[in-house]
Structure 1
Amino acid sequence: MNEHRSGHERPSKNQRRAEAREKARQLREEQQKKERRNRWLLQGGVAFAAIAIVAVIALVLVNSVRPDGPGPRNMASDGIRIGAEFQVVPTASLPAGRDPLVSEANPPGVVDIQIVVDYLCPICGEFEATNGAFIETLIASGAATVEYRPIAILTSRSAGTEYSLRAANAAACVADRDPAAFFDFNASLFAEQPEEGTPGLDDERLIELAGEAGATAPTVERCIRDRTFASWVRDATDRALTGPLAIRDIAVDRVEGTPTIFVNGLRFEYRYPFEQEDFAQFVLQAAGDEFSTNPTPSPTPTPTP
């Protein structure tokens, strides 16, 4: 009798081995393709990361080898000096790498006030709010000059925007490009002083405040946007923190904080919170009898050669 095989006859042992080998081969090929694809992705990611690292290093190197430019005009002492009729005593730019110059002595009877400030420093803002009007009166009457020295010791405390540095740079821009506007611009920076830990004023607002103070030249706007004097701000800050400061009639090793205030070469050891009477009394004591009986007009600015 003939035997008929069913269409669902069980594969032989050899057939099952062949099928298993084929499936194994296919799995190996798929695994190899996956490994090659992952290797390509990994190599591509590493290459991209390497390019990014090289770009960052190149940027750092470019910035580090970029030569420092000169400081702003009218700030050869690391500060800007404002005298009679709120006119700035002019000076030439401080060449890069040069030590700041000590400002010339005032005539007898004219008080010399010097203030080291950081525009993000809240205590500086409170000193200005308490004593700004008194200082303005002294200048208006010709009884005193005031020299503002902006530094940036709080640059890292503005949510990554470097506000302290940007504000000091903006002040330097106004001092250099349109110095007649500096006194009002300085007051505006404190009037709108941001809190520590916040982004602070953006460049647009700094430009607006400069314009409102009278510094409307297009060069002021470009200077603020480009941070033209950022390297000078850093250098002035380093000089203030390491010393000695260029201040007449007193040896100042370094600034330990802001504000740091001098009147006729004497440091004002203030109490906090501020009282306007305290500073007024200190000015009178530092100035002596000649100030109250025979004030002499403050220096008249003369052009710098």
Structure 2
Amino acid sequence: MNTTQGGWSTLPSESERARHNRKVLVGLVAGGVLFALVVAVCVGVVARDLTKDFIGTPRPVQNASQVPVANQLPAAPAGVTDNGAIRIGDPGAKVAVRVVADLQCPACKAFEAANAKVLEDAATSGSALVEYNVISFLDRASSSQYSSRAGNASYCVAEADPSKYQAWLAAMFEQQPTEGGDGLPDDQLIEIARTTGYADPAVAQCITDRKYDAYLRAKTTEILASGIKSTPSVFINDRQVTDAKQIFAPDGLAPLITAAR
């Protein structure tokens, strides 16, 4: 701002100009922070409105570089795909549903509760091939590395008999431990396997030995590096389902599977 001295307009001194510039800068920064807060609040409101009627929202995953990986990928469990997925149903089906989940993830439990029957019926009827990519990025959510122990158990039972896998998966999610606790011990994992039809001592041994732990961790790193940002991540014929209503509403995937035929 110009000043007036004896009827003459004079430019401000360097010190006055510096003070003025600092005030302008502070005002701009404050305004930018306020704008960012307003945008964040608006985005939060939209997100809450989208999912307020559902049990959970997809769980963000940690950076892939934080997941341990073996120096060499060990032999894969029998019957899994190249990306480590467990296949249930007819490989020749016109529709393929892929689910990426962590057995410690509460949102994955919500997805399972909403769509387990849809996926079981689709696999049984041959209307869809269902692929389960169980990963482990939530070990720090328990004191006993439950995420990776449960993921290892997933491979143990699937290798023994994939026809019973979906019943085992449902039981695992029904008994999912709370985050931050001890997680289910191995003997309870063995009991869940036994009650869902996996009584073979080799399955119990596979669980206690954590036979596929290194493979699971390597595949987790690979899957996260492929662009997976949250769990559950659900794909139908390689197209990701992003609508929370379709993921968490009861039988939400049913119309999408029908439409994809």
TM-score using structure 1 length: 0.59
In structure 1, the partner of 2:256 is 282
Structure 2 counterparts to residues 107-118 of structure 1, below 5 A: 107=93, 110-118=94-102
- Supply the distance in 2 between the matched residues of 1:198 and 1:150 (Cα, whole angstroms): 20
1:127 pairs with one of 93, 111, 128:
111
Whole-angstrom distance in 2 between the partners of 1:169 and 1:65: 14
Superposed CA RMSD: 2.2
Residue among 214, 232, 249 paired with 2:197: 214
Distance of 1:176 and 1:68 partners within structure 2 = 17
Which of residues 222, 239, 254 is equivalent to 1:266?
Answer: 239
Alignment-derived partner of residue 299 in structure 1: none
Match of 1:72 among 73, 77, 100: 77
Distance (whole Å) between structure 2 residues aligned to residue 278 and residue 218 of structure 1: 38
**Where does structure 1 lack aligned partners over 5 or more consecutive residues?**
1-63, 85-103, 244-253, 292-305
Taking a change above 3 Å as real, the CA distance of residues 140 and 65 of structure 1, as seen in their structure-2 partners, is closer
Render the CA deviation track for 1:122-175: whole Å, top value 9, x for unaligned: 0000000011112212222221111111000111111x2000000000011112
Determine which structure has more spread, i.e. the larger CA radius of gyration: 1
Q: Is the 8 A contact 2:97 2:235 kept in 1?
A: yes
Q: What secondary structure sits across from 1:276 in the alignment?
A: coil
Written as runs of structure 1 = structure 2, the 5 A alignment for 1:155-304 is 155-158=139-142, 160-243=143-226, 254-271=227-244, 274-276=248-250, 278-285=252-259, 287=260, 291=261
Residues 133 and 180 of structure 1: CA distance in aligned 2, closer, same or farther (over 3 Å):
closer
TM-score where L is the length of structure 2: 0.68
Unaligned runs of 5+ in 2: 1-68
More strand by share: 2
SS in 1 for 2:130: strand
8 Å CA contact retained: 1:123, 1:258: yes
Looking at structure 2, the residues matched to 269 and 240 of structure 1 have their Cα atoms a distance apart, in angstroms, of: 18
**Larger deviation: 137-146 or 122-131?**
137-146
Alpha-carbon spacing, 1:221–1:263, altered in 2? closer, same or farther (3 Å) = same
Among the aligned pairs, what percent are the same residue? 35
